[in-house]
Amino acid sequence: MPRWLATALLIAGPCFLALFAYDTVAIFVLGRRAYQFVPTHDLARGLMQDFGLTCLHAATVTPRVMRVVTDYPDNTRRLCLIMLGLGIAWYDVICASATRLLETPPGFWIGVVVLVVIPVVIAPRYVGWVKSKVPEAKPSAPRIS
């Protein structure tokens, strides 16, 4: 598998799963509004939106992060990319929660800046920060038996 595809999947997989978990909890556990649709339809609509947003994040963030993680050991690189995907999902959930508090939805360009530009700018620094928290995998000394 090409390295760029593996990187995109390591970012998109956890991001999509976290957004799916958020939608499931929000719709089935917390979703008791007066004008709620059928919960399964809400979940299906949410999954389609999550899939599109996850693909957008993977396509825009991957080229920026590829340059940062090239020298990382494999385990550290995987862990950093998985944490990046979870971090992006957390950021999306916070943005969705903040948007629900507004009386009118933000404009298109504000949405593009908040959902695309900010994650693209912050992602390389976030991956570097995660790497600083991960102890490097040191090769163990050979055992003498």
Report if residue 114 sits inside a domain: yes
Q: Quick check: 142 pLDDT over 60?
A: no
Report if residue 145 sits inside a domain: no
Report if residue 129 sits inside a domain: yes
What total of structural domains would you count in the chain? Answer: 1
Range of the domain at 24: 3-133
Higher per-residue pLDDT: 120 or 30? 120
Q: Considering the entire predicted model, what is its pTM?
A: 0.82
Report if residue 103 sits inside a domain: yes
Residue % of the chain over a pLDDT of 90:
43
Instruction: List, in order, residues 6 or more apart from 75 with CB less than 8 Å away.
Output: 137
pLDDT tens for residues 84-127? 999 999 999 898 888 878 888 888 888 889 888 999 999 999 99
Report if residue 144 sits inside a domain: no
Report if residue 142 sits inside a domain: no
Report if residue 109 sits inside a domain: yes
Distance (Å, whole) CA 21 – CA 13: 12
